Amino acid sequence: RLGSATSLSSAIINSRLQELVRLFKERTEKVKEKLIDPDVTSDDESPVASAAAAPVPAPGGGLEGDKPLGDDHYCEMLCCTFKYRPWLDRLRSYRFPSSIDPLTNLMYVLWLFFVVMAWNWNCWLIPVRWAFPYQTPANIHCWLLVDYLCDLIYLLDILVFQTRLQFVQGGDIITDKKAMKENYLRSQRFKMDVLCLLPLDFFYFKVGVNPLLRFPRCLKYMAFFEFNNRLEAILTKAYIYRVIRTTAYLLYSLHVNSCLYYWASAYEGLGSTTWVYDGEGNSYIRCYYWAVKTLITIGGLPDPKTLFEIIFQLLNYFTGVFAFSVMIGQMRDVVGAATAGQTYYRSCMDSTIKYMNFYKIPRTVQNRVKTWYEYTWHSQGMLDESELLVQLPDKMRLDIAIDVNYNIVSKVALFQGCDRQMIFDMLKRLRSVVYLPNDYVCKKGEIGREMYIIQAGQVQVLGGADGKSVLVTLKAGSVFGEISLLAAGGGNRRTANVVAHGFANLFILDKKDLNEILVHYPESQKLLRKKAKKMLKSNNKPKDEKGGPGEALIIPPEADTPKLFKAALAATGRMGGRGALGRLRWRLRELKALRE
């Protein structure tokens, strides 16, 4: 028992002393390196990335301000406790915003949808109720109920929403209630909104319920165009909505023409001539069919008989040709805008193929060029990402670059510890390049002027006697070429061949761009220089020195006893040899005698 305790204590003491000696050696090496090269900074002096402070945990273990999501909500009434839904409590505590951002507020877009629905009710059904006999004394109350509901929506839009819309004045966003109200009252929008709510309904008491008295309600067209702009801004495929809207324009023109045809037939007398509507079948469907044939000029229509019919038909033909040509032209613009990117891609590819055919480029090279075009277009939706961002200001380009590339670049070990703003500046200099399968990214011995970061795909590092053996496969997030980028003097030669394994999308950082960035961040420059020196030292060491495969020893050498531990044992002997160290010293003497 005494021997086992002694051996255990000796092992603990030996490990502690070895750890102490190792720390002393590391500190000595750092001081020597600092004296030799003043530019080298210690790990403790690395620039700290400017990041937001982490939230302070609350005493209960969670973050301050966090509340459990699944808590039960109860309401005490009389002697009982009732459970109520949390959304009801949120609804009671909801306060209407004092100002509304018309560009980003989705609630405002939803409200515009209801306003546009009320506007469409008036635009589509006022002509129908005026021309066709669909409004009767039996159903007049239903028509009036919906009419005044639409008027209520118009009134709420004026009093509640339009007076709370933010606006820009002198570069500042104005959110003051009085200023927003005055801005709306001075605008053209307010004049049209008041005009569309003219109370012509009072004439119902004198002339009866005539739908034409509600025609001013159709003047709220500015809300319709504003809704179109806001909706197109939030849709991912806005061209689909544009096609639907253009089709609705055509259908509405046909709708108005069918109403006018029924009115003209009723004016001449239903069935009085072969040209007018004969009063059989569904009146709206039959008149709509006549309007389609007239506006699209299909032909096969009966000839007008009276002067009124001839003038009406001539105006219809002229209007139909004009309206139909406008609709076709607008539809062409909508489809052209939707396929503009595809058209640009096709034109670039056709020009490249024409160029390669003119210079008789080999067929294999042409196939690889076509493959690059097709893969780049289908993977990115564009040929050059920089063309899309060149019109944006520098701050917005940085925001997009952070959202797209920061998660990949921040994980690169080479840039860990560098200034965060330096990484942001570097993100704007990255270029995205697509490599095809078996393309050489870089070759051994060539001058290295770029560093590569793998965004997607894989690359293989080749080596060996034949230069075709796969040494390692690098995946997304890996970095290579950094030694050539950071090395000074003659150390910027490529040390291996790198080939794309399948399709690979890489970020490229030029040496010139990195040097321009590091001028403004001297601390990060020192840190990167230190890391580059360590990389070069580790690459220049022989394999057996780095712990690689060498001649295997049959009997491994015995580890030397640390000098500090020897000194402690000697001091114990001079003091009488008592305690654990004394017993350990006596045990080591026995082992030495047995070994001899």
Nearest alpha carbon to residue 455 among 496, 494, 401, 491:
401
**pLDDT reported for residue 532:** 74
Rounded to whole angstroms, the Cα distance separating 182 from 169 reads: 13
C-beta atoms surrounding 450 within 10 Å = 21
**pLDDT reported for residue 11:** 73
DSSP label at residue 216: G
- Averaged pLDDT score across all residues of the chain: 80
Angle at 37 between CA 33 and CA 38, to 5 degrees: 110
Would the pLDDT of 66 be above 60? no
Nearest alpha carbon to residue 291 among 270, 268, 312:
312
Nearest alpha carbon to residue 338 among 426, 238, 413, 410:
238
Would the pLDDT of 44 be above 50? no
For residue 286, what are its two tokens?
């039959």
Full 3-state SS string of 367-398: HHHHHHHHHHHHHHCCCCHHHHHCCCCHHHHH
Tokens 């040899």 locate to 577
**Beta-carbon contacts of residue 493 (< 8 Å; ≥ 6 apart):** 445, 446, 447, 448, 484
Distances, alpha carbon 56 to alpha carbons 51, 59, 66, 69, 337, in Å: 15, 9, 11, 20, 51
Helix axis angle, 2-36 to 579-595, nearest 10°: 90
| Mean pLDDT of the 235-263 span | 91
Distances, alpha carbon 286 to alpha carbons 264, 279, 321, in Å: 14, 9, 21
**pLDDT reported for residue 48:** 42
**pLDDT reported for residue 156:** 95
**pLDDT reported for residue 258:** 94
- Provide φ and ψ at 447, rounded to 5°: -70, 130
The H-assigned helical ranges of 136-201 are 140-156, 177-185, 188-196
List, for residues 525-567, the tens digit of each pLDDT value: 888 888 877 776 776 655 444 444 444 444 445 555 666 667 6
List, for residues 125-146, the tens digit of each pLDDT value: 999 999 999 999 999 999 999 9
Three-state secondary-structure class, residue 238 = helix
Whether the CB-CB separation of 379 and 502 falls below 8 Å is answered with no
List, for residues 427-467, the tens digit of each pLDDT value: 888 888 888 888 888 888 888 888 888 888 899 998 877 77
Rounded to whole angstroms, the Cα distance separating 21 from 17 reads: 6
**Binning pLDDT at 50, 70 and 90, where does residue 42 land?**
very low
Rounded to whole angstroms, the Cα distance separating 477 from 407 reads: 9
Whether the CB-CB separation of 409 and 453 falls below 8 Å is answered with yes
Angle at 235 between CA 233 and CA 238, to 5 degrees: 85
**pLDDT reported for residue 539:** 64
Rounded to whole angstroms, the Cα distance separating 200 from 42 reads: 84
Three-state secondary-structure class, residue 444 = coil
| pTM beyond 0.85, yes or no | no
**pLDDT reported for residue 59:** 43
Helix axis angle, 106-131 to 140-156, nearest 10°: 150
Would the pLDDT of 326 be above 90? no
